[in-house]
A and B are shown apart, each in its own frame.
Chain A
Amino acid sequence: MTAVSGAGALWALRAIGPVFAARVAVERATRVALQACAAVAILVTLGIVSSLLFESVRFFRSVPVSDFVLGLQWSPQTALRADQVGSSGAFGAVPVFAGTLLVTAIAMSVAVPVGLMAAIYLAFYAGRRTRAVAKPALEVLAGIPTVVYGFFAALVAAPTVRRVGEALGLDVASESALAAGLVMGVMIIPFVSSLSDDAITAVPQSLRDGAFGLGATRSETIRQVIVPAALPGIVGACLLAVSRAVGETMIVVMAAGLAANLTANPLEAVTTVTVQIVALLTGDQEFDSPKTLSAFALGLVLFVVTLALNLVALRVVRHFRERYE
């Protein structure tokens, strides 16, 4: 009997043993595989930074950084034609940066007031029916691809701005910064509105009660108590919206021009960082020419700026959330 049970136990152990060991090995391998997948995120960031840096460094060997960052003349096409690769002033990116700034400023001047007031109205005044129409409409606006906005800007907005300007006696370019900025502003409205709504509804109800209890009207409560309390969140929302506007490509490619024009006049045509990146890299050219490399330098600037904006925005919002939790 003992011999039989002893033999049986041994056999049982052997039967489980390998299976068990295999299971553990499989588990460990799977866990490592999962970890590798999570590390891909880091890989992607590293890839972005290294490819941008690598090509930019090659660019800065032909064109000094100071010329790029401070130079006032941007004409990469002519630089090559006249065979003046290293000539100063051909890769001065200031007009390009200024163009991005101008279009972004126009867009924000539309998106922030409209988005914020829309969020306030929906949070404090709107009835169920208004909300049932407005909220889906804002989501639709958010979901429309930017190429569609770009087409609308080129087909409808730019000619309309032109016609209105001419009726007022102003000289308006056919690809004005105003048209591109206005349409970009419309695109960003839902972004500002939804982030502001988060900030506003995070303000505790007790503050609202306190103000109403003192006899404040709804607008007084909103303007003097709620918005100041929600301000960090709203500022964070605006920073994120600026980041979005700066990185936007299709609207400006289709509705803004290629002319590197250093101006603050919204009625003129300007070019932006994203437009230049597209213009320099589409079409046939060798990969190593300073022209194409300058696109990577622009890309690096774009990446750094949007990253900085996002980090600051996140910090501001997190600091604000800690205050109320």
Chain B
Amino acid sequence: MSDPSPAARWSSPEMRARLQQRHSAERRFRRLGLAAIGVALLALAALLASIVGNGSSAFVRTRIALDVRFDPELLGPLGDLPPAEREVRASDVDWGVLVRDALTREFPDVSGRRDLRSLQALVSTGARSLLRTRVLEDPSVIGQTLRLWVPAGSNVDALEKGQIPRDPEADGARFSAQELGWIASLEERGLLDRGFDWAFLSSGDSREAELAGVGGAIVGSLLTLLVTLGVAFPLGVAAAVYLEEFAPHNRWTDLIEVNINNLAAVPSIVFGLLGLAVFLNTLALPRSAPLVGGLTLALMTLPTIIIAGRSAIQAVPPSIREAARGLGASPLQVVAHHVLPLALPGILTGTIIGMARALGETAPLLMIGMVAFVVDIPGGFADAATALPVQIYLWADTPERGFVEKVSGAIMVLLAFLILMNGTAIWLRQKFERRW
């Protein structure tokens, strides 16, 4: 050994300095790693905060109570008509008159055309269809005066949510002092309130921000996913069963396997192009329908289900198959009676995760035309519909202020569904997946 003792050698000033340096480098590296995690967490927090911050107000809406007099002179003959004709005649009625009438009774000293129009603007135009629906459902109200809660106009709603200032002079103020006085008066008299907006979840799209809801989009997404599930699940499971249990190991099956892995990584917009070219153009299926959307998404989800199915089937130990075979079961019976039931939790988990991804997909649906402005809740698979993520996209494109909170609210609804689905998949996995 060299002359100075090893301990002395290792604790020489140069050695000690170098050691310090190395330990500092270690600390810096560690801090860098922590910072990276911090960046990811910060981004997530910012995203969620802005969504929830903007969106929670979408679930609240302002209402105004009106004493509506269903004027028999205006509505007259409607009560006596048969329902079908009643509906047709109802469109000829100017329901806004009833609203104006109720408002002027609350504020009798308002006069002049301009003032009256501002007063009427406090109430949403949706109030009219509400009154119309009431009369159509129950014609006996004609001649009565009822107190009804109708949606307030989007500006009043924004005011109540603090989105526009109360000071008429302030930047961004939308109301004159007079209008603010009316609103305050309504509040004092208990004719203005805020409550949970169930209509947001049940009604369809609308040009008016305060009336727009995600109901149509939710139903559209549901129908689309049903088609996706109905096509991709049987096909996917069948393919997985074939590839794992029956396929000989040759180049043909290798090709299929490579194919599936590649399809799983193809951008979703390409599937949209495929859907456009094949389903809409060649097969001339109805545009904008959940049927087409579902088929396109099914093609996209198929590889995921096949891959998940294969790994679930692979996880079933060969001993079970041998035991069944030894008892005389045919290969198909082995699969149907033994392998599939045991692989089912894994297959279901993979399917739910695939469906959750399909729920959030927008690009393919844009390609096959689910971008239309659809007001009615779709009734069937061939009706024009929109899906939740597409609705989000459309609203995000709309410049009106009121839609910002609607988009965020719709995103919250979408995220809620995704949490539900992924949570179910995780629960399934933990509860049922056995370790052999």
Q: Real complex partners, A and B?
A: yes
Contacts of A246 in B (CB 8 A): 267
Could you tell me if B277 and A51 are in contact, using CB atoms closer than 8 angstroms?
Answer: yes
Give bound CA distance, A30 to B271, whole Å.
29
Count of B interface residues, CB-CB < 8 Å: 83
Give which listed residue, B29, B36, B260, B404, contacts A41 with CB less than 8 A.
B260
Give bound CA distance, A52 to B270, whole Å.
9
Q: 1/0 per position for B107-122, CB-CB distance to A under 8 A?
A: 0000000000000000
B332: CB under 8 A from chain A? yes
Q: Helix, strand, loop or mixed for chain A's interface?
A: helix
Could you tell me if A274 and B269 are in contact, using CB atoms closer than 8 angstroms?
Answer: yes
Give bound CA distance, A137 to B367, whole Å.
32
Could you tell me if B37 and A52 are in contact, using CB atoms closer than 8 angstroms?
Answer: no
Give bound CA distance, A137 to B281, whole Å.
42
Number of A-B contacts (CB under 8 A): 245
Could you tell me if B22 and A121 are in contact, using CB atoms closer than 8 angstroms?
Answer: no
Could you tell me if B25 and A306 are in contact, using CB atoms closer than 8 angstroms?
Answer: no
Could you tell me if A219 and B25 are in contact, using CB atoms closer than 8 angstroms?
Answer: yes
Smallest beta-carbon distance B43→chain A, Å: 5
Smallest beta-carbon distance A324→chain B, Å: 21
Smallest beta-carbon distance A115→chain B, Å: 8
Give bound CA distance, A142 to B142, whole Å.
56
Could you tell me if B246 and A34 are in contact, using CB atoms closer than 8 angstroms?
Answer: yes
Could you tell me if B267 and A45 are in contact, using CB atoms closer than 8 angstroms?
Answer: no
Contacts of B430 in A (CB 8 A): none
Give bound CA distance, A248 to B46, whole Å.
21
Given contacts A33-B238, A113-B36, A145-B360, whether A152 and B246 have CB atoms under 8 Å apart is no
B407: CB under 8 A from chain A? yes
Could you tell me if B356 and A143 are in contact, using CB atoms closer than 8 angstroms?
Answer: yes
* Chain B minimum-CB-distance residue to A117: B36
Could you tell me if A145 and B263 are in contact, using CB atoms closer than 8 angstroms?
Answer: no
A260: CB under 8 A from chain B? no
Give bound CA distance, A152 to B52, whole Å.
12
Give bound CA distance, A217 to B22, whole Å.
8
Could you tell me if B33 and A150 are in contact, using CB atoms closer than 8 angstroms?
Answer: no
Which of A26, A27, A121, A295 has most B Cβ within 10 Å? A121
Instruction: Give 10 pairs: A residue, B residue, CB < 8 Å, sorted on A.
Output: A37-B238, A51-B277, A117-B33, A121-B36, A125-B33, A144-B47, A144-B415, A247-B266, A254-B396, A281-B367
Seen from chain A, the residues whose Cβ lies within 8 Å of a Cβ on chain B are 23, 26-27, 30-31, 33-35, 37-42, 44-45, 47-48, 51-52, 54-55, 113-118, 120-122, 124-126, 130, 133-134, 137-138, 140-141, 143-152, 154-156, 186, 189-190, 193, 217-220, 222-223, 240, 243-244, 246-250, 253-254, 274, 277-278, 281-282, 287, 295-296, 299, 302-303, 306-307, 310-311, 314
Please list the 9 inter-chain residue pairs (A to B) with the smallest Cβ-Cβ separation, ordered nearest first: A247-B267, A121-B33, A145-B360, A37-B238, A117-B36, A51-B277, A219-B29, A34-B242, A249-B363
